Structure 1
């Protein structure tokens, strides 16, 4: 039995929950994957999966064995990468998690460029605004905005983006442009759906001021919130990286430019390990450069 190949098949089946999906991912057949898993079960003396027509599920023994199998494969990848990091071509799969808006507007394109540049690279990009623990959820790299990072993880700060108060030119034409914080109350303030606070912190010449503002519209999508502003539905805080081109083109107007909202802080977060496989190191540097440039 090819133990390394069997371990790869086992981990892929565990990740995808299906023999056929694992076979497609590994560019082989379902019977081959089934035989590899069966041979591994015979080798370790334990049943690793419960099989049903719909899907396969890890047994208790399989769940315990999964982490060890991943570590063995990671160690193998590190050993191969260390043979000659200068000439090896990055290959294999890199799993990346990132916030939805940042991923849709910028990182998706970066992934396509990386795939074109490195033909042997495979990429999984999961877009999710919640905090994703790279260790528990088996991601090689996670891009996080604003969340506190557990001390057992590596967190590389990439950028600090101010939030600007913005509106469309049509909105300003119809409703006027506020000249002071006290003039914001009548305006339609749009919010990201997070908590129920009715005050909004503004930082400016005299420090931070909490301004009471009500709103009729909250949405849990940064892209949708920006679309609402562009459509003239109201005014909102937007991070500088999302609106700098729209401000430069004149489509949006920055209101009260002496004041800003709470800044966004972007980190690249990943598990501590002795060395990163070349495929992960390549994506780490690409993400670092792309996000710092926003």
Structure 2
């Protein structure tokens, strides 16, 4: 006995006639009749009174149709529930993001997201390791730099244009650099992860390699920023991130015509197909709440788009 045939019996009983049920189901009347005959065969008993002038169910047919109708209602409710889930962002959303990037640039956006979608529980994981989106329960990962995992779907979120900045107090203590070569005589506040790496500065088609050295080092960009504000030396920061400091006069651009190579930031998902409503809403929300300085791609780079 096929479940589909039972549900057809419920539909016919509800419609009141074979013709009406066929119209509602968009099914030929002959096809519907054949399937109901197959149901009678599988049950081994008559479900319709033979020879009746209108469709009349036997006692067994009536009981079976009423039981099938309850299941049909449950299925309809389940379909409505699934459609609601597809349309309404809800459930737990787990996001992996670098800690400092989340703290300095995304915290406000995260808070606004859960206010906007109260049925979503946002779990932000600031683990420094590279999470496996295929085998771990993460919905989105925020990744800095180039993407070397072609099996993932990567959407470029923003491009961080980075420059050099120092406090007015520090610049009063040393001659202000006029060219990249002058930086050799200055102290830098260093990010530990970049220790010992040459830094390429660009000014149009010109490039210059600078080896940053200094007595202050930290493994968090937020602390590096605080140390630079306090006069500890020159720091390298995303231009937009320190714009409020520049406006307030707590930091001053150093060699403003020279910048580091732009650093792309991507949003990664395991698949674009059948993306849950909560995930798509989160990604859309991040783009909608980007700071103004992140909306323009620097140095003529194309606008953000899906890759992969």
Same fold, TM exceeding 0.5? yes
Does the 8 A contact of 1:131 with 1:147 survive in 2?
no
Distance in 1 separating the partners of 2:81 and 2:177:
58
Which structure features the higher share of strand residues? 1
- Name the CA distance, whole Å, in 1 between partners of 2:228 and 2:256: 17
Residue 83 of structure 1 is matched in structure 2 by: 83
Q: Deviations over 1:92-147 (max 9, x none)?
A: 11001111122112322222222222221111001234433322332101111114
Aligned counterpart, 1:133: 132
Deviation at 1:149, TM superposition (A): 3.7
Aligned residue runs from structure 1 range 50-129, under 5 A: 83-84=83-84, 88-129=87-128
How many Å separate the matches in 2 of 1:121 and 1:283?
10
Distance across 1 between alignment mates of 2:278 and 2:207: 44
- Counterpart of 2:288? 289
Change (3 A) 1:231 1:142: same
TM-score (norm: length of structure 1): 0.67
2:166 is paired with a residue whose SS is strand
**Equivalent residues in 2 for 1:139-150, closer than 5 Å:** 139-150=138-149
Distance 2:82 2:291 in 1: 28
User: What residue number does 1:200 align with?
Assistant: 199
CA distance in 1, matches of 2:272, 2:106: 25
Matched residues in 1 for 2:197 and 2:120: separation?
A: 47
The SS at the match of 2:170 is: helix
The answer to whether the 8 Å contact 1:156/1:269 transfers is yes
TM-score by length of 2: 0.64
Aligned residue pairs total 215
- Secondary structure class of the residue paired with 2:253: strand
Q: Deviations over 1:232-270 (max 9, x none)?
A: 100011112321121122221001011111221111111
- Over 3 Å counting, the alpha-carbon distance change for 1:189 and 1:85 in structure 2 is same
Summarize deviations over 1:18-40 as a string: whole Å, max 9, x none.
Answer: xxxxxxxxxxxxxxxxxxxxxxx
Q: Distance in 2 between matches of 1:162 and 1:149?
A: 21
8 Å contact kept, 1:158–1:292: no
